[in-house]
Structure 1
Amino acid sequence: MRSNSWLGRRMFIAVVLVFVLVISACSSGGGNSPSTSNGGTTPRATNDKPDDTNKEPAGNSGEGSGPIVELTVWDAPKPEDPQKSLTEEVFSEFEKQNPNIKVTHELMPQGTNDREVFVTAMAGGNGPDAYHAAHFPIIGDWVGQGLALDLTSYWDSYADKDQFIESSLQAGTIDGKVYGFPNDMYVTGLLWNKKLFEAAGLDRNTPPANWDEVISFGKKLTNTDKKQYALTLLGMEWADWWFEYYVWQAGGDLTELQADGTVKLTFTDEPTVQALQYYKDLKWTHKIVQNNVLQSYQDNMNDLFQGRAAMTNGASGSFGEYAANGLDLNDLGFAPYPAGPSGKGPSQIGGAYWILNPKSSKEKQDAAWKYVTYMMSKEVREKYYQFQMDNGIFPNLLSVRKDVDPGQYTTNVPQDLIDGVTKAAAEARLEYYLKERLTPYVVKAVQQALTEEKSDVKVLLQKAQEAAQKEVIDAYNASVK
């Protein structure tokens, strides 16, 4: 999901949109559930050591009296949220445990883009004290803009800090400082229809292991008479989201973050060129992808649901969506991506962080930290998973907490799907640095390669790099020097 996700872009839209993507993807609704639900001046750090009470993940017992600290948090559940009753119960329990903290829960203000709404509100001094949807690809920019508090002193004193999986902290830790508290997370991988594999004479439980097998399997899985094809490509306005996986498989990336904080573009490096040529060949030479390579993400998903596409990209938080659209989970496989020339097929991790407002008072920041640790405590996370299990809501199969196992709350999920998610998460990467700003340049090159058979991928990537360097990177690098 492109967080910048399978979360800002509404990719892998699950039955319960509490885990927000793709990525565009990202819902502005309450991010309290563990289900389906990266220039400038560095913000000031909190140098005061938090109270010992911050070590309790589920909040205080409610004892004591003192001044009321009022918080505004953009995490109110939407009216249609099936978990609304539980969320309100969780809110009420926090108030009982912390009578000196009054939290006003609000929905994000209306706007065309949740990230723009947040940045605009912060610039105008109207931002929340805590926000749950700082997505993996954008948090670095927000830290540079002074929109996220340095949480390092809080984190160092947090009793449960070792209970969060290491990869969940990667994007939110910048220059050795913690700015993001993990809220939710997903991992991507190859998703395939086992029934279509079997019908094509392939082992239903064995996905392609490398690029060559993608082609050989793909030719067997493509049947024009049945309007069936092997593999979905993403060529619409999020094209760089899936394309970057192929660059990783070729051994590269689209940008390199330098030691001094500047960014180097690598659009014209050999792995990127090799990846785009392969991507193009899947369409024009091997003809194993959909005819309309510019069709929407949802149309890609519809092709999967209706048995036209045999393979696509999947995410750990989207199996509920697949089941809701008529797919039998026993007939789906999930695994790490096929290896490219690098010999590897790393998956992508995405998700969102809680961040605190650096302009809030110290009292509010302390209270907000207490609230966030409560919401992400083992007890509260397990309440959500239990509620989902009791109410037929499919969970995200990847938890940010090591001590909360989603597998214990799923009774109808094949073990091989859970194992596939775990295996994919073992070797995963963040989306490329400055993706939010560079997407249009990469997308243009990918789209031309997919729609112009005679195009030269090296020329396309050279043009994209020159434009991105001039219009984005030069100014960005100047701002961080």
Structure 2
Amino acid sequence: MHQRKRRLVAAFVLVPVLAGTAVACSSAGTTPQPTDAGEPQAVTITVMGKPAATNTAAVALFERQVAEFEKANPQITIEASDVPWDAKTFATRLAGGSAPTLLRIPLTEPPALIERGQVADLSDVVDEIDGFDELNPRVMQFLERDGAVYGIPEKSYAFGLVYNRDLFEQAGLDPDEPPTTWDEVREYAAQITEKTGKTGFGEISTNNSGGWHLTGYTYTNGGQMIEQDADGSWVAAFNDDPARDVLETWQRMRWDDDSLGDNVLGKQEDLVAEFTAGNVGMWVSAPPDVYPNYIAQGGDPDAFGAGPMPQGGADATLAGATVLMVSANATEAEKRAAVNWIEYRALRPNYDLDIAAETAEASAADGLPVGVPVLPIFSDETYAAYRDAIDEYVNVPVDNFDPYVASLSEFDYVPEPPVASQEIYAALDPLVQAVLTDPNADIDALLDDAESRVNTILAQYAS
């Protein structure tokens, strides 16, 4: 067994699933609980994670994987949903017992779900999974408590700059040298808008995305969003220069430079569509996560660029993850079947080289991206072997990701707020929206108001 990697460069990062897992392999390492007669118990589980219907190639591959998993595990039936996680909706469903068996959720959510007893302890099952002991401890610390294991990471992300290489060239900018600071971003954005008439830098501000971006940008300036007092209570910590600098930069780019465009009240899906259409020069997200959606919507692979998260002096970037958890209402047989599916789809492609190659071949045949550069969850040696195994099927312009990949070894990874993150993001959305829609927005007054709202949210949380 390889020693766990504990360097910051590996924090929160997994090899993402290549639109699924093996197209032809044996059953995963766990099995449903036998009946009294000694035969595996037939069980049906509902799982989140089916690709959106608009991504037809990914859906076709996913459905093929389900069929082959069920063939290898005839006692298990998979019912899949493409409905994404929504904290408000699923809180009600979990409370009412109608949530799916397998939950696919952001890393911000486990603490509250564990505290409320809404997810199952998997510790009696996960030890049977090959490679479980080598999962990144920086992620697993959010999924383990008092010897119990409540989830398994699927993939992770770190913020970086997504940009259009064609628009860079049209604006007279070098597409191999993306901006690395916020001052440079502002300069590049103004030049793109002036030379091409397109939005130089895209921004989002609804569905919690405004607060999410404000958080990530604040980290690059050395700030934080919340902090814990000695008595265990949490308080807002963003009413300070790092966040103020972000808001002032937005204000200048929106109203002085006119480089943010007018479509500032959208969500990430809206910005992906505009970027794919060639209407946006740059924006911030996780480039490896954006790329598959960009390709699915007809984006030009050669025009896609991935750069480092712009910095304001901190050499830091926001990092998070998608994790898989099982509803506390699941029976023992359902729990084991869900973990069986997790290993089959999410974990084995990372370390089983035959499966990695088969998955890559099938994905490439379906026109799905293969070989998007990421940082590994396992050892460097294992990841190198994985890259070798899929090499002949890589259809991604890997060099276009070089600036992003190179930057990740230079930055500290800062997790999202450890409590109430989605509620905090929602409370910050109006602040971001005001700055982006009102040229006379009073940033100090808006920060004071947001601080009060966030402190009200945090008042219920204590260690």
User: Which residue of 2 is the match for residue 202 of structure 1?
Assistant: 173
Contact 2:201–2:280 (Cα < 8 Å) also in 1: yes
Contact 1:57–1:160 (Cα < 8 Å) also in 2: no
Contact 2:307–2:403 (Cα < 8 Å) also in 1: yes
User: Which residue of 2 is the match for residue 388 of structure 1?
Assistant: 363
Contact 1:71–1:368 (Cα < 8 Å) also in 2: no
C-alpha offsets along residues 207-241 of structure 1, whole Å, 9 cap, x if unaligned? 112122112222322227x4323211223342112
SS in 2 for 1:253: coil
User: Which residue of 1 is the match for residue 324 of structure 2?
Assistant: 354
Distance 1:299 1:70 in 2: 42
SS in 2 for 1:317: helix
Tell me whether 1:408 sits opposite 2:391 in the alignment.
yes
Distance 1:199 1:138 in 2: 42
Distance 2:45 2:118 in 1: 15
Contact 2:47–2:79 (Cα < 8 Å) also in 1: yes
C-alpha offsets along residues 191-216 of structure 1, whole Å, 9 cap, x if unaligned? 12222222322222101121221122
SS in 2 for 1:450: helix
Measure how far apart 1:117 and its partner are: 5.0
C-alpha offsets along residues 345-396 of structure 1, whole Å, 9 cap, x if unaligned? 4143332x22133454556545544443344324456544332122211247
State which of 81, 92, 117 in structure 2 corresponds to 1:120: 92
User: Which residue of 2 is the match for residue 68 of structure 1?
Assistant: 40
Measure how far apart 1:131 and its partner are: 0.7
Contact 2:108–2:421 (Cα < 8 Å) also in 1: yes
User: Which residue of 2 is the match for residue 26 of structure 1?
Assistant: none
Tell me whether 1:255 sits opposite 2:241 in the alignment.
no
User: Which residue of 1 is the match for residue 450 of structure 2?
Assistant: 464
User: Which residue of 1 is the match for residue 6 of structure 2?
Assistant: none
State which of 411, 414, 427 in structure 2 corresponds to 1:429: 414
Matched residue type, 2:69 = F
Contact 2:228–2:235 (Cα < 8 Å) also in 1: yes
C-alpha offsets along residues 12-67 of structure 1, whole Å, 9 cap, x if unaligned? xxxxxxxxxxxxxxxxxxxxx91468xxxxxxxxxxxxxxxxxx954479999715
Measure how far apart 1:460 and its partner are: 0.4
State which of 237, 240, 246 in structure 2 corresponds to 1:275: 246
SS in 1 for 2:305: strand
Matched residue type, 1:329 = P
Distance 1:190 1:157 in 2: 39
Using a 3 Å threshold, how does the CA distance of structure 1 residues 364 and 120 change in structure 2: closer, same or farther? same
Distance 2:167 2:258 in 1: 18
Distance 1:316 1:437 in 2: 26
**TM-score normalised to structure 1 length:** 0.74
Tell me whether 1:232 sits opposite 2:202 in the alignment.
yes
User: Which residue of 2 is the match for residue 443 of structure 1?
Assistant: 429
Tell me whether 1:340 sits opposite 2:294 in the alignment.
no
Q: CA RMSD in A?
A: 3.6
Using a 3 Å threshold, how does the CA distance of structure 1 residues 278 and 421 change in structure 2: closer, same or farther? closer
C-alpha offsets along residues 404-449 of structure 1, whole Å, 9 cap, x if unaligned? 6466374322222354454455444333332221223201111112
Alignment of 1:144-223 (within 5 A): 144-152=115-123, 154-155=125-126, 158-166=129-137, 168-169=139-140, 171-173=142-144, 178-223=149-194
Alignment of 1:265-304 (within 5 A): 265-304=236-275
Using a 3 Å threshold, how does the CA distance of structure 1 residues 295 and 155 change in structure 2: closer, same or farther? closer
Using a 3 Å threshold, how does the CA distance of structure 1 residues 180 and 422 change in structure 2: closer, same or farther? farther
Q: Which has the higher contact order (CA 8 A, sep 6+)?
A: 2
Structure 2 segments unaligned to the other structure (5+ residues)? 1-15, 21-26
User: Which residue of 1 is the match for residue 105 of structure 2?
Assistant: 134
Measure how far apart 1:308 and its partner are: 2.9
Alignment of 1:363-378 (within 5 A): 365-366=335-336, 368-375=338-345, 376-378=347-349
Distance 1:143 1:170 in 2: 13
SS in 2 for 1:354: strand
Contact 1:34–1:384 (Cα < 8 Å) also in 2: no
Of residues 439-448 and 73-82 in structure 1, the stretch that sits farther from structure 2 once superposed is 73-82
Of residues 75-84 and 319-328 in structure 1, the stretch that sits farther from structure 2 once superposed is 75-84
Contact 1:86–1:384 (Cα < 8 Å) also in 2: no
Distance 2:430 2:360 in 1: 41
Measure how far apart 1:280 and its partner are: 1.9
Measure how far apart 1:306 and its partner are: 3.3
Using a 3 Å threshold, how does the CA distance of structure 1 residues 317 and 292 change in structure 2: closer, same or farther? closer
SS in 1 for 2:105: strand
Distance 2:206 2:261 in 1: 13
Measure how far apart 1:303 and its partner are: 3.5
User: Which residue of 2 is the match for residue 331 of structure 1?
Assistant: 303
Distance 1:162 1:422 in 2: 26
SS in 2 for 1:318: helix
Contact 1:267–1:462 (Cα < 8 Å) also in 2: no
Matched residue type, 1:447 = Q
Using a 3 Å threshold, how does the CA distance of structure 1 residues 448 and 384 change in structure 2: closer, same or farther? same
Contact 1:349–1:425 (Cα < 8 Å) also in 2: no
Distance 1:387 1:399 in 2: 22
Q: Taking every aligned residue pair, what percent have the same amino acid on both sides?
A: 21
Alignment of 1:305-320 (within 5 A): 305-314=276-285, 315-320=287-292
Distance 1:381 1:301 in 2: 28
Distance 1:400 1:176 in 2: 25
Tell me whether 1:473 sits opposite 2:458 in the alignment.
yes
Contact 1:194–1:331 (Cα < 8 Å) also in 2: yes
Contact 1:136–1:430 (Cα < 8 Å) also in 2: no
